[in-house]
Structure 1
Amino acid sequence: MSLFIKTTLLISCCLYISTVLDKYLNNFRGDFKTLPPPEQDNKNIFHLKMAASVESLTSAVLAKMGASSVTEIVSTLPSALTTDANISAAEMELKNGRMENAFHQLSLSHSTLLHHRMAQRLHKPSRGSKDEDCSAAISPDSLQTEKATLATTEKDETLSLLQKLPSDWSIIQITSQSVGEFSFRKIGTYPPTPGLYISRCSCGSQPTITVQAVTAPKHEGLRGIVQEVELIKEENKIINKDYRDQQQKYFTKREELNNRLKCVVRSMEIAWLRHWCCLLTGSLGARNQQLLEEATARIIADCKFPLTETQTELLQCIISCPVPPERTGGLELGVAFSMRASVAALLYESVRSARVKDLCALIQKEEGLLGQLRRAQRNPVILVLDKSIVSLPWEMIWVLRDQPVTRMPSLRMLTLLYQHHSCRSSSVLVQGIDSSKGFYLLDPDSNLPRTQERLRSVFDETGWPGITARRPTHDEFQDAITNQDMFVYAGHGSGSQYLPGELVEGLDCRALVVLYGCASVRLAPRGRISDPWGVVLNYLIAYCPCVVGMLWDVTDKDTDFLTCGMIRALQGKDGDPATPLATPPSDVALLVARSRSLCRWYLTAAALTVYGLPLQVIN
């Protein structure tokens, strides 16, 4: 182990210990306010002396490092161990009502490993490619801009990142609370379902930020949502391996797993997120947003008590939140219970309080208009998920089911990727995806004959060049993702066996990459502490604008049927009139959301995920 790595680990451990000490010291300080005079109780004298010793030790450690606070050290040496210091700082900022500061601290805790890898790419752009012509050609000005974006450490710099993004995008950042308590857990075990910080940000010249703390589920049966999903994924592998020749048992077992996953998603909605599901929705179009603001203004004008600016923003989310399909019977049947709970949380009062009842009555008067807004199409949502919850099928939550949703590891990577493509006139972000410019790689190991049979005619209809039943060379793979508008892979895994992720990183990827293999965009943990990693992150380092893939293992027949429908939709061909793809949308993320209805198995539909930028297809 190199001296640099040893030093980094040592400093990280010191910072982690300092963070824990700081946290307990803050608890002591809070207790001192209510303590009787020390001379009345020897225990209080002991507590005071111990707190003073802890404070003195913390100050001494920080002084040796030349810093005034743990947060200052963390900002210069971010790591998977030090991110808990940012979360602790965000907690204190949120208690003091400083939401922008809280969001800034929380954003620093996401994807530190990816930031280090991207920084390596920026300092050595041709790394990972043997051929200099294959590396990304980045101008010196662009390189400095991207380095500055990645090195953001101040609150004002974080706000400026939001200002650089399109005004119709909504950033929904979900961060686990107190992750560090389980950093050294035994490998193979899972922490209980955590409490969350949901940060909702609008983008553009005047960004708005709302941060809401969500408590962990209290019911014992819901204490392991992440663990239950992992168990479902493992049993799914066993079924695909052991029961393929026993059809009756196979279908019975898969149906059981379908129902278990549906229960997990339902638990996420009802017992975990509860009434705060409304924070995950995208913004409305300009006209509908104006109608919503007018309705909100009328409600507040008739209200007998004032609402703060933050409460007003939350109220807009609450009253316009989409209603699940099974709750379409009007306000009384569909919205009343969750509405009252949301309003009560907004006002910090009981659901039975007079103010809650009065505000709900005013909302009900606007039900005619609000009902239309709840069914309106939404603008893109970019989910930024914490490493401990990234494996969950968030897109299956009812408020996101028919919405354009993409994932990104962090706000910094999102802004860097957007800047890289938005300033290039030839980028598919600017021009749109030309559906006639594609390349396919079909069963390169030549061991999926049924997949070849189902998909060959579909790929033939596209007119694209492609490879079937043959392993591609590195040059063929590189050319496909750097020069085409669309690259579709139908085979085992992510395709990294044909072009390793380390080689992908050194490229400047142009194409929308669609990976129809098992667990193709899965982020797997590496040890106890470090951020999870997967091939999709290699593609993002290579500036890939968008990657579509699977979170876990899927069956070939169901995936092939999905592939056929999506390829035709991407070509602009109308689908079955009875499906959501009867008239395919041009928005890639929305097209993916509606393609889930083509899957027979809920397990397959829930695995389908989009990473990257919202893109449009041109036919």
Structure 2
Amino acid sequence: MEDELETVEDILKELDTVSSRTHNSRSGLSHQSLQRFKASQTDADLIRISYLVDSHASNLREKVSMRFERLLNRGDCTPDEAHVKVLKDIVVNKCNFNTTSSMADIKKMIAELPKEWTIVQITNSYNPLEETNTTFNKHFTNDLYMTVFNCGQIELDPFCITINSPWLNGVKLELLQQLTDLLQEYKDRLTSLFNRKFFKNEAEKEKYAMSGEILESTLRGITENIEKYWLQHWRCLLIGKYKDSSIENMIIEEVNNIINLHLNSLNISNKIRQVLYYLTKGASFLTSNEILAAVQHCLEDLCNANTKKLLAQAIKKLNLQITSQELYPVRNPLILVIDECLDVIPWESLQILKHDPICRMPSLHFVYFLFKEYESSIENGYKVITDYNNGNYVVNPDGNLDLMEKRIMAFLKHWMPEWKGINSRMPTNTEFNDLLKSATIFSYHGHGNGTHIMAVDTLQKIKLHTVVLLFGCASNRIQRLGPEVETYGCYHMYLMSRCPCVLGMLWQVTDLYTDLLTSEFLSNWIPSKATIPWKNVDKPTWTKARFDLNVKFEGQKGSHSNNLDLLKALAHAKNVIDSNLVCNACIVRGLPVKIKLK
């Protein structure tokens, strides 16, 4: 036939034509699957990246652009109408999508973003079995695409690595299924305890404690398997830039010298060079065999096995020179753009990430969206806030978390007495809204995320420049409500309201360990005039909440230092609290935030 489609390129062009005929074809799960299918059918790196970037959060982008369109049509965004138009155009799904203009837009965004940032996009690969899956609780562990964007420059193109699904001894590891099953078991365990209130006897209490230890160990094992068998040596790409730019420059210079020494006669692409830079930075988190595996993948048939071994040894030696000065060199923020179906994974708890400033975003478009909203207040890669004493809180609004209320209120009065709020009663919708909007920092301590108090619809109608901390169960979760249904989370509403940053939980958590994490994080992040450092307060008394709400803590007076970087302060707190199930749940969505002292 004359019109027969004979090549993959012909099919891709036809798919682009079909998907551009109607605006509705450009959003939703069908669009996401289509773009990922097209990514799987091309070997051109930049074309693949264009498809993958466009596949992220397409439905959310549609909702945000439509919301802004309504604001513009009603005249509700005066006097910043021009700015709202800019924001709408950033996230809007373009009907006439083509890879050339898309990559031009991507490069423009990356060039404008702060040079301190590194963005790593992790995308699920196309799996036709997911198209026919009608089982709500079925989760597939697929191949991954990991795309790296070096912000603030135009010289280096983004690059993409394909990571194979995990196998062990000929058996595929369904790690996503294992993780979701574990979290369901954990949720059922917490629900049964909440409904029961008391243990029948000591044996039942011990059995409950043992089951918790097993869940903790299982979560730790799943996380380790994600690193070892799924990400493998490519976890070296999950690393931000050093704050000391001279180290970055030295790595580039030394790796180029190593390439010239061992591969002088070969034409080594910029992509391979970039991968080797990242491999050098992340080599301390890899075994010697993993370093060699990464080198072998990069060079393939370009050189013999002995040359690859020499190159791997040189990279390991260079890494040791860098890390010999300090165990955890200070790095700039890493922004993870996470696929919705991979969002349940506690990426921040991976060994290579657990000490670094990490935040999440749903798509590259929304990174740029928030950057343009706060461009004037971003310094050295951080959205800065100064009035940290302007804090509001809501504590125990449902009135059935008495011990939590005692602990948190005692901490707030000791460490941040300037903060105001409501505790032990349900705020009205107006009160909650006012507390949220009028604060520089808003902290919620209760069940869920507070949307049973203030309707989420209200959120998308306001412009919110508050840093939001939600310490309730599953308060920052994004979930798919069915196999053929879009994902949803209250964070989507905060993002629509242009909120810079939301801290919260991926799943259910226990109140005691959450309170320990909360107090450790806030005392490490927020400067205080308290004469007794929080570390010197009598913790056994505080954890048991055996005091009234007017208690004044005693302890050794002394000085205390703060980590003004929200992400670093949280990483510190998560590394000192002994509960994987609570600490791994706590993540940050949005921009990196830092307190700037006046």
Instruction: State the TM bucket, normalised to the shorter chain.
Output: 0.7 to 0.9
Structure 1 residue aligned with 2:350, among 394, 397, 416?
Answer: 397
TM-score, normalised with respect to structure 2: 0.84
Change (3 A) 1:193 1:497: same
8 A Cα contact 1:192 1:223, kept in partner = no
Kindly state the Cα deviation for residue 545 of structure 1 after the two structures are TM-superposed. Answer: 0.3
Structure 2 residue aligned with 1:181, among 113, 116, 129?
Answer: 129
Q: Which residue does 2:402 correspond to in 1?
A: 449
Structure 2 residue aligned with 1:482, among 429, 434, 437?
Answer: 437
1:13-28 alignment, distance < 5 Å: none
Q: Which residue does 1:297 correspond to in 2?
A: 256
Kindly state the Cα deviation for residue 394 of structure 1 after the two structures are TM-superposed. Answer: 0.9
Q: Which residue does 2:551 correspond to in 1?
A: none
Kindly state the Cα deviation for residue 52 of structure 1 after the two structures are TM-superposed. Answer: 7.8
Q: Which residue does 1:259 correspond to in 2?
A: 217
8 A Cα contact 1:546 1:611, kept in partner = yes
Q: Which residue does 1:101 correspond to in 2?
A: 47
Change (3 A) 1:136 1:485: farther
Residues 32-64 of structure 1: CA deviation (Å, up to 9, x unaligned): xxxxxxxxxxxxxxxxx8x986769x999998x
Q: Which residue does 2:29 correspond to in 1?
A: 80
Q: Which residue does 1:116 correspond to in 2?
A: 62
Letter in 1 for 2:321: L
The 3-state SS of whatever aligns with 2:562 is coil
Kindly state the Cα deviation for residue 495 of structure 1 after the two structures are TM-superposed. Answer: 0.6
8 A Cα contact 1:485 1:512, kept in partner = yes
2: CA distance between counterparts of 1:314 and 1:365?
Answer: 17
1:319-338 alignment, distance < 5 Å: 319-321=280-282, 323-324=284-285, 335-338=287-290
1: CA distance between counterparts of 2:45 and 2:140?
Answer: 26
Kindly state the Cα deviation for residue 351 of structure 1 after the two structures are TM-superposed. Answer: 12
Question: Are 2:506 and 1:528 equivalent residues in the alignment?
Answer: no
Q: Which residue does 1:438 correspond to in 2?
A: 391
8 A Cα contact 2:47 2:103, kept in partner = yes
Structure 1 residue aligned with 2:273, among 290, 294, 312?
Answer: 312
8 A Cα contact 1:442 1:468, kept in partner = yes
2: CA distance between counterparts of 1:367 and 1:542?
Answer: 43
Residues 345-370 of structure 1: CA deviation (Å, up to 9, x unaligned): 11125999122112123335535423
Kindly state the Cα deviation for residue 136 of structure 1 after the two structures are TM-superposed. Answer: 6.1
Residues 358-402 of structure 1: CA deviation (Å, up to 9, x unaligned): 212333553542334873111111111112211111111111111
Kindly state the Cα deviation for residue 268 of structure 1 after the two structures are TM-superposed. Answer: 0.6
Structure 2 residue aligned with 1:279, among 237, 253, 261?
Answer: 237
2: CA distance between counterparts of 1:406 and 1:319?
Answer: 23
Kindly state the Cα deviation for residue 179 of structure 1 after the two structures are TM-superposed. Answer: 3.9
Residues 92-112 of structure 1: CA deviation (Å, up to 9, x unaligned): 34x1xx322221110110111
8 A Cα contact 1:522 1:551, kept in partner = yes
Between the two proteins, the alignment pairs up a number of residues equal to 545
The 3-state SS of whatever aligns with 2:273 is helix
1: CA distance between counterparts of 2:475 and 2:22?
Answer: 33
Residues 164-203 of structure 1: CA deviation (Å, up to 9, x unaligned): 2111111110111114531331222424310000001011
CA root-mean-square deviation: 3.1
Residues 94-134 of structure 1: CA deviation (Å, up to 9, x unaligned): x1xx322221110110111211210122112399xxxx99x
1:483-498 alignment, distance < 5 Å: 483-498=438-453
2: CA distance between counterparts of 1:84 and 1:528?
Answer: 13
2: CA distance between counterparts of 1:526 and 1:371?
Answer: 45
1: CA distance between counterparts of 2:174 and 2:236?
Answer: 23
8 A Cα contact 2:384 2:593, kept in partner = no
2: CA distance between counterparts of 1:273 and 1:214?
Answer: 7
2: CA distance between counterparts of 1:112 and 1:546?
Answer: 21
Which stretches in structure 1 are left out of the alignment for 5+ residues?
1-48, 325-333
Q: Which residue does 2:186 correspond to in 1?
A: 236
1: CA distance between counterparts of 2:189 and 2:354?
Answer: 27
2: CA distance between counterparts of 1:319 and 1:429?
Answer: 26
Kindly state the Cα deviation for residue 424 of structure 1 after the two structures are TM-superposed. Answer: 6.5
Structure 1 residue aligned with 2:578, among 578, 590, 600?
Answer: 600
1: CA distance between counterparts of 2:484 and 2:237?
Answer: 29
Letter in 2 for 1:341: A
Change (3 A) 1:482 1:157: same
Residues 214-243 of structure 1: CA deviation (Å, up to 9, x unaligned): 111123665321111111111112222335
Change (3 A) 1:70 1:173: farther
Letter in 2 for 1:106: L
Q: Which residue does 1:23 correspond to in 2?
A: none
1:286-435 alignment, distance < 5 Å: 286-305=245-264, 306=266, 307-321=268-282, 323-324=284-285, 335-348=287-300, 353-372=305-324, 375-423=328-376, 431-435=384-388
Change (3 A) 1:126 1:440: farther
Change (3 A) 1:144 1:586: same
2: CA distance between counterparts of 1:418 and 1:169?
Answer: 11
Q: Which residue does 1:213 correspond to in 2?
A: 162
Question: Are 2:112 and 1:164 equivalent residues in the alignment?
Answer: yes
8 A Cα contact 2:19 2:26, kept in partner = no
1: CA distance between counterparts of 2:496 and 2:313?
Answer: 51
Q: Which residue does 1:32 correspond to in 2?
A: none
8 A Cα contact 1:435 1:570, kept in partner = no
8 A Cα contact 1:474 1:498, kept in partner = yes
8 A Cα contact 1:444 1:471, kept in partner = yes
Residues 266-292 of structure 1: CA deviation (Å, up to 9, x unaligned): 111000000000111111221211121
The 3-state SS of whatever aligns with 1:81 is helix
2: CA distance between counterparts of 1:203 and 1:229?
Answer: 32
2: CA distance between counterparts of 1:510 and 1:429?
Answer: 14
1: CA distance between counterparts of 2:516 and 2:16?
Answer: 59
8 A Cα contact 2:120 2:148, kept in partner = yes
Q: Which residue does 1:569 correspond to in 2?
A: 524
Q: Which moved more, 1:592-601 or 1:534-543?
A: 592-601
1: CA distance between counterparts of 2:369 and 2:584?
Answer: 28
Residues 398-446 of structure 1: CA deviation (Å, up to 9, x unaligned): 11111111000111111111101224799x9654242211001000111
Change (3 A) 1:617 1:106: same
Structure 2 residue aligned with 1:459, among 406, 412, 420?
Answer: 412
The 3-state SS of whatever aligns with 1:400 is coil
8 A Cα contact 2:12 2:38, kept in partner = no
1: CA distance between counterparts of 2:352 and 2:87?
Answer: 34
Letter in 1 for 2:275: L
Residues 135-177 of structure 1: CA deviation (Å, up to 9, x unaligned): 7656121122112211364221122121221111111101111
Residues 543-595 of structure 1: CA deviation (Å, up to 9, x unaligned): 11000000000001111111121222232256649xxx974321111211111
2: CA distance between counterparts of 1:425 and 1:321?
Answer: 27
Kindly state the Cα deviation for residue 312 of structure 1 after the two structures are TM-superposed. Answer: 0.7
Change (3 A) 1:199 1:61: closer
1: CA distance between counterparts of 2:476 and 2:54?
Answer: 23
Kindly state the Cα deviation for residue 78 of structure 1 after the two structures are TM-superposed. Answer: 2.7
TM-score, normalised with respect to structure 1: 0.81
